[in-house]
A and B are shown apart, each in its own frame.
Chain A
Amino acid sequence: MEGPSGDITVTSSNRKCSAVTGSGRRIKDGAADWHNLRARWEKLNDDGFVIAGNIVNLRLSSHREQQVHTPPAGGAAELQEECCKLHDIVHKMVAIVMKMERLMASQRGILDLEEFQFGPEGRKVPLFHSWTTKQFEDSSRVLLDAFRRELQLKQTILQELGHTVTSDLCMVYLSCWLHQPFTPPQTRLTLEALLLETGHRPL
């Protein structure tokens, strides 16, 4: 355990960066993890969007062929392959959200620890610039909730995409995948605020 270092007095000299220890260290590393996880999520989202687009094209064109006369030739195998790829993407997204849940849990742990150390009011002096430990927990929760809902949406899209033949609905699925409706600009701002507060971004 960190012992007495848990309530180390943060002075302007060690608040800067590397000298941060204890709760501050954990929170700062957590902020960096949030940033990295989000970057990986975005990359997966982009890759997934290309695959989802392929699926829609294959599905709609094979549907058109079926309506005309012959059953699709090699389309089914190709469709299966693309669906598997999308499945992999969503699977990786599940892993990311699980890591986010762990981050959230450790954030809550820090809060509990501080309540134990300093009483229900928490610490008197902020760990970094101005945020209380509770605020770190709050912003983690905002981020986690957004990505959780986004993941649910992705999972629904994954299940339905290969079976949908109405072009409008396909378009809405793609639209949802691309624009990520449950991560509004506030999510991005919350993350940026977290990075600013923890000193990852220069003030």
Chain B
Amino acid sequence: MSKAALLSLQQALRKSFQTLECNQKVWKSVLSECSPLMDSLANLAEQWKALSNIQIANTPLKDFPDLEEKLRFKLLLATDTVLGKLNEKMSALQSVRDAISNQVYAVIQLYEQNADSLDLLSVTERSATAPSIADMLEWLQDAERYYRQQFLKKKTLLQTVRADNLSLLESTPEKWKSLESPSADNHITDTLCKVSFFMESQ
């Protein structure tokens, strides 16, 4: 068994969990910035719907024949602005996903390079303070997959939204909410708790 390989693998694992920990915070804060934007989108959808439901010509606004067209244009602008801001947030989420993915791929690669020199016992052995290497690798992959899938789902959802398609616009905030998975997120927090002693040890 190679002691050096084991040590470097542990070091890489520590670094991966640190990356995971700080990126989890970034992810959460970006998501919390998205929710007011989603509220604005829902509100704009309501305005679109109200405008489609009424006949301007039958209301006191009939003296403004071009009102509907102009209001539609302004609503389109406002919707566009919100969608643009959401896209910026998606870039932030993408960099979180990339940071985590890169780190996890690196540690998996390191493990695979040294797999021959590591015996089964040293990979599966755990102590009161440190989980086994096998467990930790698995947790990292779970977390990486979670962020990758979450990002993809959100991105796909936003790519299908069209400012001129009312039903899509209306359903987006709800769909966005339904993508949230508090249990998976708690699971990552649990994982970080499980490895906290390991991360502190050198």
Residues of A near any B CB (own CB < 8 A):
149, 152-153, 156, 159-160, 166-172, 174-176, 179-182, 184-185
- Please name the residue on chain A nearest to B46 by beta carbon: A171
Within 8 A of A (CB), among B46-60: 46-47, 49-51, 53-54, 56, 59-60
Within 8 A of A (CB), among B38-92: 46-47, 49-51, 53-54, 56, 59-61, 63-64, 67, 70-71, 73-75, 77-78
23 A-B interface contacts by CB (under 8 A): A149-B64, A152-B63, A153-B61, A153-B67, A156-B61, A156-B63, A160-B60, A168-B49, A168-B50, A169-B59, A170-B50, A172-B50, A172-B56, A172-B59, A172-B61, A174-B47, A175-B75, A179-B78, A181-B71, A181-B74, A184-B73, A184-B74, A185-B77
Contacts of A156 in B (CB 8 A): 60-61, 63-64
Number of B residues near A (Cβ < 8 Å) is 21
B41: shortest Cβ distance to chain A, in Å? 15
Within the assembled complex, what's the spacing in Å between the Cα atoms of A174 and B50?
11
Within the assembled complex, what's the spacing in Å between the Cα atoms of A194 and B158?
38
Contacts of A153 in B (CB 8 A): 61, 64, 67
Tell me whether A179 and B74 are in contact (CB under 8 A). Answer: yes
B16: shortest Cβ distance to chain A, in Å? 47
B117: shortest Cβ distance to chain A, in Å? 65
From A152, A159, A167, A182, B70 is in contact (CB under 8 Å) with A182
Tell me whether B50 and A167 are in contact (CB under 8 A). Answer: yes
- Please name the residue on chain A nearest to B69 by beta carbon: A181
Within the assembled complex, what's the spacing in Å between the Cα atoms of A179 and B78?
8
Contacts of A169 in B (CB 8 A): 50, 54, 59
Tell me whether B50 and A180 are in contact (CB under 8 A). Answer: no
